[in-house]
Amino acid sequence: MMEHTEKAPNGVDLEALIGTVAAVKAAPSLARFRFRVHNRWVAGAHSKTTIQGFYGTGKEDASRKNPFVLEGDEPPVLLGGDAGPNAVEAVLHALASCLVVGFVYNATVRGIGVDSMELDLEGDLDLQGFLGLSKNVRPGYEGIRVICRVKSSATDEALQDLWAYSQEISPVMDIVRNPVPVFSELKKA
């Protein structure tokens, strides 16, 4: 974790960030990333995801010595063993953590100091879709609400503008708000 110093305002290495943007501008192919996860079913609703390598800046990344392991499960009322948050909760986590990165990085570029930032997200989901009880009910979230509370000495206008921009360039906000093509295949092992 970087300290909040003059060299790293908001804990962001500003020089490195500016360098990254310039490098990608000069060679756009550096911006091509491929992220990956591997998931293994345990039992019932419980599965484990391991996350380690990815491709980006023209090469396979080797910086992670150990994989991250995320547990997915359902709570008892959804017939799981509650070994981890469920999949739609994980989506809200992804959206929150994505908005934070975009907000803090761009705050830093704009010279805005962020003292604290907290987000509350909620999503409404009608289980009739997942249970196959109605074709008129979508399986996913009908809607998501995000409330972001920021402490900063910047003006409200500057923060609102930054917040709007953070959503615009947020990969997960884009994934949630807009269609992503998914290719899928089942192979008998």
User: How does DSSP classify residue 143?
Assistant: E
Q: Rounded CA gap, 171 and 157, in Å? A: 24
Distance CA 103, CA 164 (A): 9
Applying the rule CB under 8 A, the residues between 130 and 189 that interact with a copy of itself are 130-134, 137-152, 156, 159-160, 163, 165, 167-189
* Options 7, 11, 110, 113; binder of a copy of itself; rule CB under 8 A: 11
Interface residue with a copy of itself, options 3, 6, 60, 136 (CB under 8 A): 3
Q: Using an 8 Å Cβ cutoff, are 35 and 98 in contact?
A: no
* CB of residue 83 to a copy of itself, shortest distance in Å: 7
Considering beta carbons, is residue 3 or 6 the nearer one to a copy of itself? 3
Residue 107's φ and ψ, nearest 5 degrees, are -60, -45
DSSP label at 69?
E
Among 6, 7, 57, 110, binds a copy of itself (CB under 8 A): 57
Q: How far is the CB of 15 from a copy of itself (least distance, A)?
A: 10
Element holding 94 (H helix, E strand): helix 87-109
- The Cβ of residue 84 has, within 10 Å, a number of other Cβ atoms equal to 20
Residue 64 vs 111, nearer CB to a copy of itself: 64
- Find the shortest distance in angstroms from Cβ 139 to a copy of itself: 4
Could you identify the residue written with the tokens 């500057």?
A: 158
CB of 168 to a copy of itself, least distance (A): 8
User: Which residues, including other chains, have CB under 8 Å from residue 87's CB and lie 6 or more apart?
Assistant: 72
To 10 degrees, the CA torsion angle through 171, 173, 176, 177?
-120
Show contacts with a copy of itself in window 17-46 (CB under 8 A): 17, 20-21, 24-25, 28, 30-46
Query: Binding string, 81-110, against a copy of itself, x = CB under 8 A?
Result: xxxxxxxxxxxxxxxxxx-xxx-xx-----
Min separation Cβ 180 and a copy of itself, Å: 5
What is the nearest approach in angstroms of a copy of itself to the Cβ of residue 46? Answer: 6
Cβ–Cβ < 8 Å for 112, 154: yes
